Amino acid sequence: MDYKTLGLDPDQEKAATYPGSALVVAGPGAGKTRVLLARVLWLLDQGVPPEKIFLLTFTLRTRAELRNRIKTLGSPDPRIETFHALAYSLLAEASDQPPRLLSEEESLAFFKRLLKKDKSRLSPKRLLEFRGRERPEYQAFFQEYERYLEATHSYDYYRLLAVFKGKRGTFKDYHLLIDEYQDLSPEIIEFLKFFKGATFFLVGDPAQAIYGFRRADPQKLKPHLQTLSPDLKILFLSKSYRVPSRILEIAERWREDPFEIRHNLAASVEGGWVEGYAFSSEQSEAVGLAKEVSRLVGGTTLEKGQVRSYAPGDLLVLARLRQLLKPLKEAFLKEGLPLAEPEEEAQSRLQEIQKRLEGGLSRPRLTEDLQKIWPEASQFLDLEEEKEILLARLKLLRAPDLLKVSREGVNLLTIHGAKGLEAPVVILAGAEEGLLPFNLLPDSDLSEEKRLLYVALTRAKEGVVWSWAKRRFLFGRPLPGRVSRWLASLPFREPKRPRPKPAQQGLF
């Protein structure tokens, strides 16, 4: 199929058909996926064999979406993989047998033994989080862990990529298409350097870089990307086809671009609405937002007297921290609203899969149990694949791979969990100082906090409700009780308190 059948706008077509390496700045709703698909079709039309096109993503969910879209287009399949799965495949292809992957539970058990021997109070999970970071005080633990991995010819999530550091393959005439480049960590960058001679095509948005805790540092990323290809051309997609003008105009005020290549993103959809509320306390915020959600689900009067009724699944309720979702959940349930907690459900499902993996399941039992825990598994994995390879893919699973928003319930998520999602209405709770920006920890990054707000607002396709509380306690400490500095210029109102019902007069 010709890429022109995708109906690209001029910026999208210029990017998809650029003859060399390119870095495409694609803001929210600008057609990132469409450009990646068009690039594949254009390369195939130029005579590039599908096996020389690698399309790399972060999650199995995105991988499945891209594979399905390409299958629908009727084109030959390029090699679509997550970064870690590709690294695993390359190691397997260079060896007589598949590499042995450690599950997270195995790694935690090893660190538990080390810490017990050293009489350290550090938790194994916390130590594992420091893996790959420059923490001299823990290097002795990591050195012993590395010796264990080498002695047992094993790989964990970090070593799977790190083993390629300093190595260079020959990939002339290959094309690497990278999704969401702003989230690349140092170890993934080092892994990509292995593909020497390839043409790189990177699509993403630096203004949506929100994964500093995963070691993705956009401040240092740009020069690293240029080492992949010194002649990297920067291109822009200038239109958002999702975010309406009113919401985009507000969000763009706080667009924080660490690459310092600012460009203006214009909305192709007019309208959009934004409503702000100030509540007296965290409890009144939870009750007030529950009432607001009921109003939206039950039908709300919009401009020109139109009434719009939303399904519960049309709403994303977001908060900066997971702790803020608990009172909201309680109030929503009390209001009788159907709820979904996609992040909690994904984490629970992941833990259950890991638990079954530790049990050493047989091949038929593995498939059977997997489908019970994860009914959609066949959409993301080849369940007929060789057992060792299937086990490896399961060990590489992370919670975002399993995240799925509900269509039947109101979705409660952190802003991080909502990255990549969209909905007609976004409800942002806790938009106040101390939370947005979150500055209760010494290593808080103000620029990344601004990008989090940008991500939250631009999930919305029609409207945004945001709220803040004048009294809230977090981790035992009172917050300042002031609206977020970034939203203070927007109008907000205090909901009217319901009038108390008059006492019934007695008969006598």
The pLDDT tens digits of the residues spanning 7-59 come to 999 999 999 999 999 999 999 999 999 999 999 999 999 999 999 999 999 99
CB-CB contact of 263 with 236 (8 Å): yes
- Find the mean pLDDT for residues 388-410: 91
- Find the mean pLDDT for residues 283-308: 80
Tokens of 162: 């790190």
Range 90-93, long-range pairs (CB < 8 A, 24+ positions):
90/164, 91/155, 91/160, 91/163, 92/389
Question: Is pLDDT at 226 greater than 50 in this prediction?
Answer: yes
Smallest CA-to-CA distance from 427 within 300, 248, 273, 306 is with 273
More confident residue, 259 or 336: 336
- With the CA atoms of 73, 75, 78 and 81 taken in that order, what torsion angle do they form, in degrees rounded to the nearest 10? 30
- Find the mean pLDDT for residues 290-310: 75
Question: Is pLDDT at 229 greater than 90 in this prediction?
Answer: no
Give pLDDT, residue 505. 54
Smallest CA-to-CA distance from 343 within 370, 369, 325 is with 325
- Find the mean pLDDT for residues 395-412: 94
- Find the mean pLDDT for residues 298-324: 81
Contacts of 503 (CB under 8 A, 6+ apart): none
- 216, β-bridge pairs: none
Tokens of 355: 């638990």
Question: Is pLDDT at 412 greater than 60 in this prediction?
Answer: yes
- Find the mean pLDDT for residues 408-431: 96
How sure is the predictor about 507, in pLDDT bands with cuts at 50, 70 and 90?
very low
How sure is the predictor about 314, in pLDDT bands with cuts at 50, 70 and 90?
very high
CB-CB contact of 153 with 169 (8 Å): no
What's the CA gap between 337 and 293, in Å, rounded?
Answer: 8
What is the pTM assigned to this prediction? 0.91
Give pLDDT, residue 37. 96
What's the CA gap between 350 and 374, in Å, rounded?
Answer: 9
Question: Is pLDDT at 499 greater than 90 in this prediction?
Answer: no
Question: Is pLDDT at 347 greater than 50 in this prediction?
Answer: yes
- Find the mean pLDDT for residues 274-283: 96
- Find the mean pLDDT for residues 444-458: 93
- Find the mean pLDDT for residues 75-83: 92
Give pLDDT, residue 303. 53
Outline where DSSP puts E strands in 157-242: 175-179, 199-204, 233-237, 239-240
Question: Is pLDDT at 360 greater than 60 in this prediction?
Answer: yes
Q: Which of 273-282, 292-301, 450-459 has the lowest mean pLDDT?
A: 292-301
Give pLDDT, residue 264. 80
